[in-house]
Amino acid sequence: MSRKLTVLITGANRGIGLALTKHYISLGCEVICTCRDEQLTSMREQMLSFGGNPENVIALTLNDSRQIERIAEVFPAKSLDILVNNAALGDASEGAKFDKMNMNEWSDVFQANTIAPVLLSKTLFPFLEASPNPLIVMITSHLASIELNDSPDSVLYGASKAALNSVVRRLAISPEFIDRKITLGLVHPGSVKTRLSGFQGISTETSAQNIAAVAEKFKSGEFSSASFIDSETQTVIPW
């Protein structure tokens, strides 16, 4: 009998995170997910409707480092097989633009998109170490690619994801990750119908299936740690 996997998904109350939650529950995984405090009730109702455990919904705000660090105290499992750092902030506000640049808004996006996923991974490290084949999936973006950067749009969002990619690339070759055999995956979800894309592109359900398929390839070793993968085409994206 195969071992039941435990999966944690951040930003699970809508979009790709919600679709990933539903998908992994359908695969028989023990799914734990996070959302903001004000979304707890509705997210627990969603979990129940998917056949998951509503007690596995944890309140988490990306820009609250103390809340991130306390998650280990309320984590409802002994080990963690897959951590999907999905939650992120976009850059559609006026303060994200170069000519109207607002330092606080830029800091918020970098905290949420670059620092928070790394801090959460560090906080949950003991649970990942307890898994026989742990994987951390960082949902990133093709907009983080320097080589493919041929558009003036999404400067802040792209930069925050490029910084995340750089951190992950370095962590993957560090003793902390190599010695513990913890794999890191950088995954572009594709152009998906979410608020960040203006609801243009593939469905969140299709994206979730693609991301899960890429995760399996990381776990099997088909993709090496810290590879930057397009989940739609299942191919490597240039840095």
* Residue 147: DSSP 8-state: T
CA distances from 45 to 34, 54, 112, 182, 205 (A): 13, 7, 26, 33, 19
Phi-psi sector, 199: left (phi>0), alpha (psi -120 to 50), beta = left
Residue 129 forms part of a structural domain: yes
The pLDDT assigned to 1 comes to 43
Phi then psi for residue 37, to 5 deg, are -55, -45
- 124 in any annotated domain: yes
CATH number, domain containing residue 223: 3.40.50.720
1 within a domain of the structure (yes/no): no
H or E segment to which residue 136 belongs:
strand 135-139
83-131: per-residue pLDDT in tens? 999 999 887 666 556 677 788 888 999 999 999 999 999 999 999 999 9
Burial class, 187, CB count within 10 angstroms (exposed 0-12 / middle 13-18 / buried 19+) = buried
In a domain, 10, yes or no: yes
Is residue 189 a contact partner of residue 207, using CB atoms and an 8 Å limit? yes
- Give the integer Cα–Cα distance in Å for 203 and 184: 25
Residue 11 vs residue 98, higher pLDDT = 11
In a domain, 108, yes or no: yes
**pLDDT tens digit string along 185-227?**
999 999 897 665 567 789 999 999 999 999 999 999 999 999 9
Among residues 65, 238, 22, 60, the alpha carbon closest in space to that of 148 is found at 238
157 Cβ contact partners less than 8 Å away, ≥ 6 residues apart: 89, 90, 91, 96, 109, 113, 141, 143, 196
The residue count of the chain comes to: 239
User: H or E stretch including 82?
Assistant: strand 82-85
Largest CA distance in the chain: 59
Range(s) of the domain holding residue 109: 6-236
Centroid of chain to Cα 152: 25
- pLDDT band at residue 146, thresholds of 50, 70 and 90? very high
User: Number of structural domains, the chain?
Assistant: 1
Residue 100: inside a domain: yes
Q: pLDDT tens, 154-171? A: 888 999 999 999 999 999
